[in-house]
Amino acid sequence: MATLRLALAQMNAVVGGLNQNVETLRRFRTQASASGADLLVTPELSLMGYPPEDLLLKEGFIESGGFALAELALERNKVPMLVGAALAEGAYGTRLAPASDSRDAGAGGPGDTRPRIANALVALGDGDVVAVATKRLLPNYDVFDERRYFHPGLGDHAVVNVNGVAVGMLICEDVWMSDGPAARLAAQGATLLVVANASPFARGRRDEREAMLRARARETNCAIAYVNLVGGQDELVFDGQSVVVNEHGDVLARASAFSEELLVCDVDARASRVGVTLKANYPRDERRARAATANHVSEPLDDVEEIYEALVMGTRDYLRKNGFRTAIIGLSGGVDSSLVAAIAVDAVGARAVRGLALPSRYSSDHSLDDARDLARRLDVELNVVPIEPAHAAFAQMLSDVLGGAPEGLTDENLQSRTRGVLWMAVSNATGAIVLTTGNKSELATGYYTIYGDSAGGFAVIKDVPKTLVYELCRYRNERARRDGDPEPIAESVLVKPPSAELRLDQRDDQSLPPYEELDPLLELYVEDDATADEMIALGHDPALVRRITRLVDNSEYKRRQMPPGVRISKKAFGRDRRMPITNAFRVEDQ
């Protein structure tokens, strides 16, 4: 047996930020050298960021990535490093499947003169590119769209030999298939497998990953080092939680969730002469290396805590990476806006968050009091601007058009749209981003006002069902108590009946079933793709099922106009669930 010291760079890459990513890779390389690592492994497409989407089709992007990779490759006296990058066919001997074998209609299609490209993992030695692994299995489900851009690799699977250990190089999807690329690497003589990943967070995903890795380790009789991206990218959040398992599937080391980290792990593997040599030619400070912490196992977060941290990271990185310094939130005194405010403060700090309370004639005194109390507890600035003068002016303007003052739903939505106008005006004047406060239950059923409470730049909890909103609020309060801080969300907010307060004595349960009944139906229909008949067969009320599925189907045009927001489920609206707006299909009509 031989012992290899691996360093896994759980990094927060910036999509398209080649210069920033090169600097991050260098920083991790320096840290890995200080730890005495034999090999540094970085995530999937760590050089370009993930997912780069149509940047991969943009003139000059692949070429610029090649220049950045060559710059890293020329560095000498550094720890060997595996870098995720997109490579054009032929670069460093990269071979790709013919178009007829790739099942690819996007990249390299008829009349496309752009180079065919691979999703690759590149081994950098002492001043040179030593080996290239290409991704074989290209996912095209859920949030993944890789067949639009990449072609599968051909040829032998890449094995590099590091200090007498044959290290097989894999990329994300390639490790998921039983008797697939991982098994073929083991058959070639690899005794340790390393996997570069960009695996987005979804509820329960860490357990699935580690179960798969345990199975693959036993199948191949190889230890497996799995390094994952961390950070927010538009709707996606990458949770990190990089992990190393031995050949029996036991966890040797695990990185923390939702933070950058260099995970150092000493791994025992069978000695082997297989693979092209990748030497660690750099000056080591053995005393410092021995002092470096290795094989640390971070404890997984609880379910609700994990979701909360995903929402915080997704919000923080969306603002930071897009250049927003401050955020505006419409504080109504309700549970949704309270949760969004707490997340925003945890993401960017209280000084960067501003609340706008815009009460109408129907807003209750206790709701305004709750908004003021929340602002005090979170230490954020709050401006209170009654909207009744604007509401009355709009109503007067519309009376000639409508033949009378607006009534019913028209008047309710008018209030919400008045608020949207004011939020966006403040955003224009200050450069702050408006964070919307709608939850997944509302988005699913269309229970929100388009161009009103949906107005904004980022929808923090758009993938969070209403019942989970309450769980997250209680978790945040519990964490505050544990830390000796004041609870940010008052109990009065958590116990009052949910209401939009757009008419006298309005409650959500006048328009929707109680959320305890609604959310399980939405999970079945939206996330599990259950049909109405299947839901009824499970014992749900037929009339209610038909009503809710119609609401979901009829609200697609509204959801399509919503801002992006953090994805925390296995099927979010937008990137995952892509339904046509114009859609006449109904199961009951067939």
Taking a C-beta distance cutoff of 8 angstroms, is the pair 556, 580 a contact? yes
Contact predicate 575/235, CB 8 Å: yes
Question: Is there a contact between 220 and 248 (Cβ–Cβ < 8 Å)?
Answer: no
Residue linked to tokens 């489900």:
141
Q: 306 catalytic, yes or no?
A: no
Q: Which residue pairs from 24-28 have beta carbons closer than 8 angstroms and sit at least 24 positions apart in sequence?
A: 25/72, 25/81, 25/83, 26/72, 28/262
3-state secondary structure 35-64: CCCCEEECCCCCCCCCCCHHHHHCCCHHHH
Contacts 24+ apart (CB under 8 A), 513-521: 513/544, 513/548, 515/441, 515/465, 515/466, 515/467, 516/467, 517/544, 518/441, 518/445, 518/466, 518/548, 519/441, 519/465, 519/466, 519/467, 519/468, 521/545, 521/548
Could you tell me the two tokens for 541? 């009320």
> Could you count the other beta carbons within 10 Å of the beta carbon of residue 418?
21
Give the span between the Cα atoms of 302 and 419, in whole angstroms. 37
**Alpha-carbon gap, residue 152 to 89, rounded angstroms:** 11
Is residue 309 among the annotated active site residues? Answer: no
CB 276 within 8 A of CB 194: no
Active-site entry in 58, 59, 63, 135: 135
Radius of gyration of the chain (CA): 26
Is 172 noted as a catalytic residue in this protein?
yes
- What angle is formed at CA 86 by the lines to CA 82 and CA 91, rounded to 5 degrees? 85
Using alpha carbons, list the distances in angstroms from residue 460 to 129, 331, 437. 42, 14, 7
Query: In 400-518, at which residue ranges do the beta strands (DSSP E only) sit?
Result: 433-436, 458-459
Helix then strand then coil, in percent of the chain rounded to 5, is 40, 20, 40
From the candidates 172, 222, 265, 473, which is the catalytic residue?
Answer: 172
Cβ atoms < 10 Å from Cβ of 103 = 12
Q: Are strands 433-436 and 327-330 parallel, antiparallel or unpaired?
A: parallel
Give the residue numbers marked as catalytic: 44, 135, 172
